Chain A
Amino acid sequence: MKYRLLFQTALLAVLMLIGVGALHAQFTATGRVVDANGEGLVGATVAVRGTNRGTSTDLNGNFRIEVPAAAGTLIITYTGYKTAQVDVSSNNAQVDITLEEDLAGLDEVIISGLATNVKRANLANAVATISARELTGITNQSTMDGALYGKFRGAEIRANSGAPGGGFSVRLRGVTSIFGNQQPLYIVDGVFVNNDAITLGTNIVSAAAGGGNPSTNQDDASNRIADLDPEDIETIEILKGASAAAIYGSRAAGGVVIITTKRGKSGQTRVTLSQSVGFSQPIRLLGMRNWTADLVEQEFGPADRALFEQNGLTDYEKELYDNRPLLTATRLDVSGGTDKTSFFIGGTYRDEGGLVDNTGYKKLSGRVNIGHRFNDWLDVYITNNYINSQADRGFFNNSNTNTTIGYAHAFTKPWLKLKPETPGGDYPAVPSVGSNILETVALVTNREQVNRYIGGANINVRLWHNDNNELKAVIRAGVDQYTLHTTAIFPQNLSYFRNPGTLGGVSIAGRTLNTNTNLWGFLVYTHVSKGGTTWRTQGGLTAENFDQNTIITTATGLNGSQTNLDQSGAVSVFHRRYPQKDRGFFVQQEINWKDRIMVSVGLRGDKSTNNGNADQLYYYPKANVAINLHEFGILPSLFSQAKLRAAYGQAGRFSNFDDRFNPMVATFIGSSNGLYTATLRGNTEVGPERQSELEFGTDLGFFKNRVVVDITYYIKRIDDLLLRAQIPQSTGFTTQVVNAGGLENRGIEIGLDLVPIRTPNFNWTSGISFWRNRSEVTRLDVPPFFIGGFALSLGQYRIEKGLPATTIVGTVPRDDPEFGTASYKIYGDAEPDFNMAFNNAFSLGRFELNFLIHWRQGGDAINLSTLLWDLGQLTWDYDDKTLDPTGQLGNGPYRVQQWNANRNTQPWIEDAGFVRLREIGLYYNIPRRVFSDRLSLRLGVSGRNVLNFFKYNSYDPEVSNFGNNVLANTVEVTPFPSSKRWVFHLTANF
C-alpha cells in the first residue's frame, strides 16, 4: 500500500535525522523576568538557544536553568511580550531580564502545522489573528459573529438578519465555491466544531420555498458557531486560503478559523467578575407615507377612506420595532495554577431581548480548561465547554402566504385595526393582508434551544531528547456534541388558522443530534544543528467522524389551544441522517536558518465517504518561504523588521452529502406509499473541489515596530468547481451535480499599524486595514446559468465564464438596445469595491477610549423588501420624486412601472455599501490599592453599530434571506431589522 510505504520512508527519515548529542561542560544560570513596571512575570519560558533545554519562571518571575556549555544564549518568551535574548556564561550566570510589550504581535505563536506552531515573525503567510482584547475588549458581544466584523482583512462577514441568536456567513478572500459549503472550518482548541444552520421547518406556514419541503434556507436559522461564548476566547486565527490552510486538506477551501480559549497561568488565583447592562434599539426606522384622507381614497378607494377616518393612523413599524429591550450579561472568570497545573474557569449568563416583542436570546456557558504537566515528558491539556442557549427569533423573511411579520407588514395599511377588541380577545383577521402582524408577534413561537458540549484533549509526550534533538508525540482528540431543539408554534387561534380547511394550527418540533469526533496522532522531530538551523519534521494521521441526525415533526390541525404534537389532526415527519468519515495523513518539514530564512514543505492526503469513491486519496501539497532581511544585519536601523514571504498551498472542499446520490422521494397517496424521482440529478463520480492559492507579501516594521506595514497579494484558483448545473427541465430534473468549473480570486490586503504616541500617561495606537477582492469565473463546462434569488426579473446571480462570480443580473428592459437579443442584463456586483477598517485605542491615565470604524465601499444587494412595500403602495418613499428622470412619478410608482412595464430589474438592485461605527468603548480603570490591595475595578460604556451611514433603502444593507448561502447572500426579503446596542460595564478583578 502506498501510504504504508510512505510511512516507512518517513520513519527512516526520522531515524536518519536523529543524531547523538555530545556532552559538554555545563553551569546553572539564574535570574528574574520582569515587565516594564518591574513586576515579575509568571510562567515566562526560558530556553537555551541551540538546545532543547527550557524552563519557566515561578510565581515571582525567577528561573533557574542548566546551560550545557561554558557560555550560551537564553531566549525568554512570554505571550504579549517581545522575545528577549541574553548571553550568559559561567562567569555571568545571574541575569535580570525586562521584557518589552510586543506592539506588533510579532512574537505571537501561530499554528503552522497540525502539531506545531511558529512565531508570527517567522511566518510565511498573512494569518490574521485577533486577541481577546480586540474581540471583546471594546464592547461585549452576544455571539461570536458580532465580535468579528471589520476585524479581519480579507473577510466578508455578513449577518443574515437582526434576529436574536446570530446567524451569519463568512467569506474569506472571495467566493470560493458556488454550491459547496462555503463556510470556513472552525476548530476550537483542536476540536472540529460544527457550524451548520439547521432548518427550522417553518416553511409549511411561510411557504417561502413553495411546496411542503421543510428543509429550506429561507427560514432564518442561526448557525451553530454562534453558541460559542466570545468571552472564553483568547485568540482567533484565520487561515484565509489554501496557502495557509492546506494542512487541513479537504475541509479547508473555505479557510479555517482556529479558536483558542483562555488558559490558566501559574501564579495567584485571579477572579474577575463583570456585569453589563444595556439596551438595543433599531438602527433605522423607515416611516410611512404622509397619509391624508384624500390620498387614501386615491390609492385604495372610498372604503379605505372610511376606515382611515374611523381608525386614524397607527405606526405599526414603531409598534413592532421601536423598542428598547434590555441586555444583561454576567461573567465570571477564575484562573490560576501552580508550576505543574493550571486551570481556567469561565462562566457567562446572558439574557438579551430582541427588538420585536417576545424575541430574545439567553445563554448559559461554562468552561473548565485544565492543564497538567505530569513530569518532564508528559503533559496533558483538557478543555471542556458546556453551552445552553435559547433564541426566540420571531417569524421573518420571505413568505408566500403573507404570514411572516416583515412580509405582512409591507401590506398592512396603517389605518387597519389590528388589536383585539377587548384585551385578551381574539385578534381580528386581516384578509386584505393574509395575517395580522400584531397577532403573529403575540402568538407565534419560533425558538431554537441548544445543549452543547465541546471537549478536547491535547497530550504531548516527549519520547526522547538530548541537547540538540527532540522527538515528541502529539495526540489530539476532540468531541463536539449538541442537541438542537427547534420549536415553532402557530396556534390554531391565529386568524388565518381559525377556519376549518386551513392548516388549523401548526406545531413543529425539530430535534438534531450532531456528533463530531476527531483524533489525530503526530510525531514531531526537532533537530537544532550547531550552526543554529532548526529542522523540524512532523508526520501523523488524522481521523474525523461526523454524524448528524435531524428529525422535524410537524403537526397540523391542532386540537384547540393544544401544542403537543399528539393533540393534532395530522403529523408528518422529516428525517435526515448525514454520516461522514474522513481519514487522512499529514507530513511536513520545516527548516529555520537562524530566524533568517524559513522554509516549509508539507503534504496532506485525505479521503472521505463524501466523495464518489470513498477510499480514494486526494493530495494537498503546500510550500512556503519567509526571509527576515532584518536578521541579516544589513538593513539600516530604521527597519526593525523587513520580511519577504511567499506561500503556496492547495486545499479542497467536499461535495455535499447528497451530491453522489440519485435519491427517490417518498410519497403517500390513497392508501399506499410511493416513490418518485428527485429534482436533483446526482453524480456517483463526484470528487472534491480543489483550490490552489499563491500568496506573497512583505511585512515591514519601522522605529522599533511603532510603524508596521504588511502587504499581501494573493491569487486563488478553484478547479473542479462543484456545480449544480441547471439542466433542461425536460430531463425531469432541474439540476445536476458536476465538477465542471473554475474560479479565480485575486486580492490585496494592506495593514498599517501605528503607535503614534506612547508616553507613561498617554497612549494612542491605531490600525488601518484595507482589503479588496475580485473574482472571475475562468472555466465553465456547463452552459452559463442563473442562481439565487427568485427569478430573473427579481434579480439573480449569473455564473458565466469571464464574469465575476458575484454578478447580479436581471431582465433586459424594453427600452434597452439589447432588448429582444440579450437574455439578461448586468445590474451590479455583490462584491464590494473594497473594505476598510479604522481601529483606534487611546488611553489617558485611567481612561481608555477605543473605537472601530468599518467602511465597505460598493457591493450591490437585491432589495426585494422595497418591491413588496411598493406593491402594497405603502413604501416610506412612495411619493418622493427622486428617481423618475422626468420628475413625474413618485418613487414607488416609478419603480413598479419600470419593473412591470419596462421589465427593468434596476429598481431592486441597490448599493449596499456603508460606513459604520462598529464598536466604541469608553472605560475608566480604578487600579488596586485605591479601594483595596486586592481589588481593581473597570467601569465603562460601549456601543455597537451606533452610527451608520448608508444609502440603501431598507433597514440594513447587511442581511440575507437565504441564510448562509455565501453566493446568494445579498438578497433581502423583509428581514428582522438590525439593531444598535448600548451597554454599561462594571468589572471587578480580585
Chain B
Amino acid sequence: MKKTFLKAGLFLIALSALWSACKLENIANPNAPDQINLENGGATLNDLRLLATGCEAVLRVDMEFYYWTVNIVGREYWDLRNTDPRYTGELLGKGGGGLDNNGFLTTRSYSARYRAVRSAWVQIHAAQNSTATLTPAQRNGFIGHARTLMAYSLLLELNRQYTNGIRTDVENPDRLGPFRTYTEALRDIREMLDKAYDELNGAEFLFTSTLGDVNRVRQFNRALAARVAMYQGDKGAMKSFLQQTWLNLDGNMDDGVYYVFGAGGNNLFNPLYTVPFQTAYVAHPEFVANAEPGDQRFDKKTTQLATPFSTDGLSGDVQVTLVASNIAPFPIIRNEELILMWAEAHIGSDNAEAVKAINKVRAAAGLGNYTGPTDDASLVNQLLHERRYSLFGEGHRWIDMRRYGRLDQIPKDRPGDVVHEKFPRPLLDAE
C-alpha cells in the first residue's frame, strides 16, 4: 500500500518536474532576418549593406507589370501570349470596359512600387538607428541612396495613378499620409529628390551599388528631378537639372543606370526578355508603319516574324525583342532620354539647340538630320516621334501622349476599345 503511494507520488513529482522544465522560449525566425530588429538599431554595417543592395534589387520585383501595363495602354505593343485574357481585354478597354481596381493589372505594380518605398524606409531607419560605427558621410550615403530610390518608385506609380494622386508620405505604415494630388505629388517627389541630393553631397558609399558610385547616384537623382520637372512643365529647372547629370550630346546613347539581372540563386532573370519567334509580344502596327526606313532603333528592338501572332482580334508579325538575353540589363534612365529631355527643354526658347539634340539622337539611329519646319509645334511632333522610337518599350509613350493631351491620337484597334487615361486607385487604398 505505502509502496504504491510512493510510486504514484514519485510519478506525480516526476510529471510536475517535467512540467516546470517545459518553459518555452520564443524561437527566432530561422528562415529570415527580422525587419523590426533591423529598423530599431539592430542593423550591423553588413546589414546596412544588405539593405542598400536590397533597395536596388526590389526595384526589379514585378517591374514587368509596370512596363507591360504602361506600354500596352500606350499601344506600344500588345501581349498576345494568351496567358491571361485581361492583357487584350481590360487593358485595351475592350468593349468600353474599365480597369478592375482590384485586379493584378492595377495592384501588382502599385504594391511592388510601394514595397520598394517600404524597403527604402527600412534602410533609412536602419541607417539612422544603427549602432554600427559610421561617420555622418557614411550614414548619409545609405540614407540619400534610399531616398533617391524611394522617389523613383513613387514617380513610377504616380505615372499610372496620374490625377488620382498618390500618398507620398508612407513612413509609418500605421499612419499613412494623405493622398496628394498629381501636382502636389510631383512637388513632394521633387523635394524628396532635392533632400536626397543634399544628403548625397559629400556622402560615402560603404556598399557596391549597381547604379554606380556616389557621383553617378547623385547624377541619377538629378536625371529623375529633370523628369519630374518635365512632367511639371518647368523647362528652366529641367535644363539646370540636366546639366548636373551625365548628359552628353556626343556620348553613348546607352550610357545610364539600369536594372541588372543574372542567373541563379536569389538573382532574377529579366522579366521583359522575349524569346525570339516564341514569346508573343507584338509591336503595334502603327509603330511598325510609322518607322522610318533604316531606323536602327526599330531594328534593334523588334524581330520580323514569318507568321503573325494573333489572338482576341489582334494580330501582328513584328515581335518585340527589347533585350538580347534574359540576363541583359534594362534601362532606368539613359543618355538618349537625357538628350531628348534636353531637346524638349529648349523647344520654345532655343529651337536650334532642340534640333541639334534631336539630330544627335537621329544620327545615332542611322538616320539623317531632321529637315522639317522648326516652329514649336512641329518640333514637339518630331520630339514625340523620336521619343517613341528611342524609348520604345521603356514606359514613356502613353505618358508623353497624355501630357501633350494627345491620348485621342493613340490608335484603337477594335470597335469599342478605349485608351485608359489612368489606372484606378486600388480598392484597398480607396477604402
Contact = CB atoms under 8 A, between A and B. Distances in A.
Interface stretch (A148-156, A333-341, A476-484, A608-616): A608-616
Given A402-B82, A501-B276, A731-B170, A676 B115 contact: yes
A29 to B, nearest CB: 27
Interface in A520-579: 521, 523, 540-541, 543, 556-557, 569-573, 575-577, 579
A402 B82 CA distance: 8
Contacts of A679: 111, 115
B82 A672 contact: no
Interface stretch (A663-671, A832-840, A952-960): A663-671
Contacts of A378: none
B30 A579 contact: yes
Interface in A659-692: 661-679, 681, 684
A583 interface: yes
Given A583-B22, A667-B54, A786-B102, A572 B114 contact: no
Interface stretch (A66-74, A247-255, A722-730, A768-776): A722-730
A17 to B, nearest CB: 12
B31 A663 contact: yes
B217 to A, nearest CB: 14
Interface string B57-97: 11011100000000000000000011111100110001111
Interface in B227-271: 260, 262-268
A570 B22 CA distance: 45
Given A501-B325, A615-B23, A672-B53, A661 B429 contact: no
A731 B325 contact: no
Contact of B429 (A210, A579, A607, A729): A729
Contact of A901 (B25, B47, B58, B94): B94
B30 A677 contact: no
A505 B114 CA distance: 34
Interface in A193-238: 210-212
* Interface size of B as a range: 35 or more
B25 A614 contact: yes
Contacts of A665: 32, 54
Contact of B30 (A556, A577, A614, A793): A577
B287 interface: no
B19 A3 contact: yes
Q: Taking chain A's interface residues, is the majority helix, strand, or loop, or is none over half, making it mixed?
A: mixed
B19 A541 contact: yes
A502 B275 CA distance: 7
A485 to B, nearest CB: 21
Given A463-B8, A684-B36, A730-B170, A668 B267 contact: yes
B289 interface: no
A666 to B, nearest CB: 5
Contacts of A402: 81-83
Given A501-B273, A729-B426, A730-B166, A615 B55 contact: no
Interface string A278-319: 000000000000000000000001010000000000000000
Contacts of A572: 264-266
B38 A664 contact: yes
A666 B4 contact: no
A664 B427 contact: no
A499 B266 contact: no
B54 A676 contact: yes
A464 B7 contact: yes
Contact of A731 (B14, B103, B173): B173
A802 interface: no
Interface string A569-593: 1111101110111010100000000
B288 interface: no
B264 A570 contact: yes
Interface stretch (B117-125, B190-198, B344-352, B402-410): B117-125
Contacts of A502: 275, 278, 326
Given A402-B81, A541-B19, A728-B429, A557 B35 contact: no
Tell me which of A400, A499, A666, A671 has the highest count of chain B C-beta atoms within 10 A of its own C-beta: A666
A584 B427 CA distance: 43
B60 A669 contact: yes
The CB with the most chain B CB atoms within 10 A, among A402, A411, A732, is that of: A732
Contacts of A733: 115, 118, 173
Interface string B1-28: 1001101110110111011101111110
A729 B428 contact: yes
B170 A609 contact: no
B376 interface: no
A528 to B, nearest CB: 18
B56 to A, nearest CB: 6
Contacts of B167: 730
A388 to B, nearest CB: 29
B115 A732 contact: yes
A734 interface: yes
Contacts of A556: 263
* Residue of A464, A471, A585, A670 most packed against chain B (CB within 10 A): A670
What are the 6 tightest A-B residue pairs by CB atom distance, in nearest-first order?
A732-B118, A674-B53, A901-B95, A663-B32, A570-B264, A674-B54
Given A431-B277, A499-B276, A793-B103, 18 more contacts: A1-B20, A501-B325, A521-B18, A543-B18, A607-B22, A613-B26, A664-B32, A667-B53, A668-B265, A672-B53, A674-B54, A675-B53, A676-B122, A677-B118, A729-B429, A731-B173, A900-B85, A900-B94
